[in-house]
Structure 1
Amino acid sequence: MRTLLLNSSPHGEASHAYCLAREMIARLDTQIIERDLVADPLPPIGRGYAAAVTSGSSQDEAFDWSERVIREVEDTDVFIIATPMHNFTVPAALKLWIDHVLRINRTFTSTPDGKVGLMQDRPTFVLVGSGGFHTGERARQPDFLTPYLRYALESIGIRSVHFVLLQGLVGGDVAVSKAVLEARNALLAHAPFNTVASVSA
C-alpha cells in the first residue's frame, strides 16, 4: 500500500495536523510519499501552461509539474492532506496544488452537467487545523474550506473524502490536547486506521 501525505502548513513538521497524520500513517503497513507544499513550493502556473491547456498540447513542458503531482495521487491508495484554514479557506500553497491537479481532459472532463472526474476514488482524509472555531456552537467565522475542497476533489473523481477538524489551537496546551484527541478518535473510526491489523501494529 502507498500513502500520499500533503502538508500545506507554514509550521511544517511542527503542525499539529501533520503530526497527527504521521501518527496515523505509522499504524499502516504502507509506503509514504510526502510533499511539503510550503517548504518545497510548486511553481506558479504561467502563460505557457495556460497556452498549452488552450491548445490541448499535453506534451508541453509546462505540464511537467502538473503531471508529477497528478501521478503522485494516481500511484497511491490512501490520500491525506494536512492543512490549516487561512482566511476562511485553503492556504495559497494548497490552492496552487489544486490548480496543477485539476486539468481538463487529464483529471476531469467537461460536460453539460459540469466536471466529471477521470481519476479513481480512494480513501482521502483532510486534517484541518485552525486557531479558532468554524463549526459547532463556538463558531465565529464561516467555513469555505470544506465545501470548496470537497468539490475540487470530487471534480477529479475523489469522493471518499473525510474531513477531520482540529479547532481552537490557539487556546493553549489543554485546548490543543483536546483537539488532537478528538481528531485522533475521529480518524480511528475510519478504515484503514481502525482495522485489527492496524491496532496490533
Structure 2
Amino acid sequence: MAVLKDDEVDRIERASKATTGPNRQEVIDSMYNRLNPKPRGPTYSAEEMIAMRKKDEQEEQQARLVCSRDRAWNEIRIPADMGVDCGHYKWYQNQSIVELTFPVPELVQPKEVHVSLKAGSIEVCMGPRTPLRGLLYASIKVEESTWYVQDGLLTVQLLKRNRRGHYANGTSNADTFWMSVVKNAPEKERLQLEYPPSAYYHAPIEPEAEPAHRMLPGKKSRARAKQ
C-alpha cells in the first residue's frame, strides 16, 4: 500500500474543496502517473466486450472467405476459344454444357443469391446487383441445369438443348457451339470467332445418366447449395 506524504495529502484535500482546477481524482491520478503521458483508456461493459469480440470474429471470418474466394476465382482458367473471362464473370463450354462462374460480392450472403433459368433466358441476382440478365445464346434444358454457391463463388451450369448426340433438326455439331452466354452480349463477353475451334470437337460429352451437378475440367468439386 502506498503511503502519502503530508504535502500530497494536503493537495488532495485542497482539490476536494476547490471549485476550479483539477478535481480530487485528477490529482490522485497525477501522483501515480495515470494522468500523464496519456489518460486511461475507455472502459466497456461485459455486454459491450462480447459484442466487440463477436464483431472481430465476423470480420476475421469474412476476410478468410474473401481470401478463399479470390484464390478460387484466380484458379479458374478458360481454355483458348472455349469461353471468355468477362471480368465480372467467366464462362466456359464443352459439347454438352456451358458453365458460368461469378464472384459473390463481399457483403452479399449466399441466401441473397438467386438464379432464374428458363429455356431461353437467364437472370442472375446477388443482393441488389444483377450481373447478368438476358436471352440465352441458345436454348437449354432447365430441369437438367443447376447452380450453387461455394467458397464465395456462384457457379451456374447450363445443359445445352442442342448438343452432341441431341441435334435439332437440320443442325450439326458445329451448331451446338456458343459464341456468348446471352444474345447481344458486349464484344468483350463474346468469342471473336467465325467457326468453332477444332478443340471443341474433342471436348468432353456429359453422360445422359449423370445428374445435373456437373464439373468442368480443372475445377474442384463443391457441395451443391439449396436453390
Give the alignment's TM-score, normalised by structure 1.
0.28
Give the alignment's TM-score, normalised by structure 2.
0.26
More helix, by proportion: 1
